[in-house]
Amino acid sequence: MNPALIFPVVSALVASVWSVWTWRDEQQKERQLKRDQESALFVNSLMLAAEELQMRLYSMLEEDELAFYKKEYPEEYKFGSPYAIEILYRFSQYFGWAQRNYRYGPYTNDPRVIELVRTIGETFENRSKFSGDAFRFTIDERVSLGGAVVRREGDLTALIPTFESITLFQFQEEMIDKSSKHAPLFQSRAVRSTLAAIDRADRPEVLEGFERLAVLQNLLVDLLTYLEGMEGFRVSIGSRRRARLRGSSDQPLPSAATLATVLHHTRGRIRMGIPRLGWDESYANRLQYLLESVDNVSSIRISVIAASVVINFSPEIPEMEFARKLEKTIEEGFSAA
């Protein structure tokens, strides 16, 4: 080949490779930007709503919150006491953000989130395991309550819609407004039964729906722990506590969230979410020992705050094959712990 022609050919080839590389890099940046926007608009609000709800449920079930508010609001209220309405508001806020995330957020296809949200929904509707109408909301009621609190704002034609929660004070005003378009919803059997159950009880043992709420609180903790592991930050300080089930002494609800999930992997490196790290501080040392016993592990970095662990290992081993080995070790170690 004529040497004079080699340089232009090579230059054109390099330019083509550079163009493809640059295009892929720009595409990756755009995808990451879109994902960050979705997290800011949807995931963060869901995590805050779930955190507030699970904390209130824990306080109702395991602390003296019911007795305190029974003294604070001793008289009878036509539409429920301010405390009962606030609890309904926290449920509705969670419903609203869970629905928006399911449709618009970055976890619409995430198997773990889908499983947890589905299980939470089934727990709200289940009649065979949990008796009574208090806190038993059907899918239509959850959608309606969520839409009453989390509403679309701004440009309705925007590619990524914007939603905002109304305030508790707005919610309270609409509860007593007979002309509100949500008035039939607020008079529904589920809503009235829920408000009445809260106002009747002065201690957890007599609260209708106690068992349902205990399961829901545990599931919300599981959901939060998983999302925090995926997002890389926490919305709470310290470890979360789990409500006990009746007859289960001090044991939390058994859950698949006590196991491990691969969050990210590259050659020779795997990051795994370990939800148990988020609520069992003593588990970190046990986990360190378990993972150090696995062949070909070169280093381990555990983050209790993020409920995750980074494992570096021999790069010649296929990542997913090694991940399955790690999951089995963690599962067997948890069962023996």
Q: How confident is the model at residue 33 (pLDDT cuts 50, 70, 90)?
A: low
Average pLDDT, the chain: 84
Q: Which two tokens stand for residue 94?
A: 């969670």
- Lowest model confidence (mean pLDDT) among 121-135, 147-161, 255-269: 255-269
* Contact predicate 326/272, CB 8 Å: yes
Lowest-pLDDT choice from 33-37, 66-70, 130-134: 33-37
5 vs 107, residue with greater confidence: 107
Q: What is the pLDDT, as a whole number, of residue 226? A: 85
Torsion of CA 53, 57, 63, 64, to 10 degrees: 90
What is the DSSP annotation of 151-205? EEES-TT-SS-EEEEPPHHHHHHHHH-TTSTTHHHHTSHHHHHHHHHHHH-SSGG
Share of the chain above pLDDT 90, in %: 44
Q: Which strands make up the sheet holding 261-266, listed edge to edge?
A: 261-266, 269-273, 308-313, 297-303
Q: Could you tell me which residue, 96 or 265, shows the higher pLDDT?
A: 96
Residue whose C-alpha is closest to residue 91's, from 126, 137, 39: 137
Average pLDDT over residues 252-273: 71
Give the pLDDT of residue 230. 81
In the block, which residue shows the tokens 């939060």?
224
What is the structure's pLDDT at 322? 87
pLDDT digits 0-9 by tens, 70-111: 898 888 888 899 999 999 999 999 999 999 998 888 888 888
Domains annotated on the chain, with CATH: 43-231 (no CATH), 259-336 (3.30.70.100)
Which of 107 and 332 is assigned the larger pLDDT? 107
Tokens encoding 213: 């709420």
Choose the weakest-confidence range: 153-157, 165-169, 238-242: 153-157
Its pTM stands at: 0.70
Q: Looking at residue 259, what DSSP letter applies?
A: S
Classify each residue of 165-176 as buried b or exposed e, where b means 16 or more C-beta atoms within 10 Å of its C-beta: bbeeeebbebbe
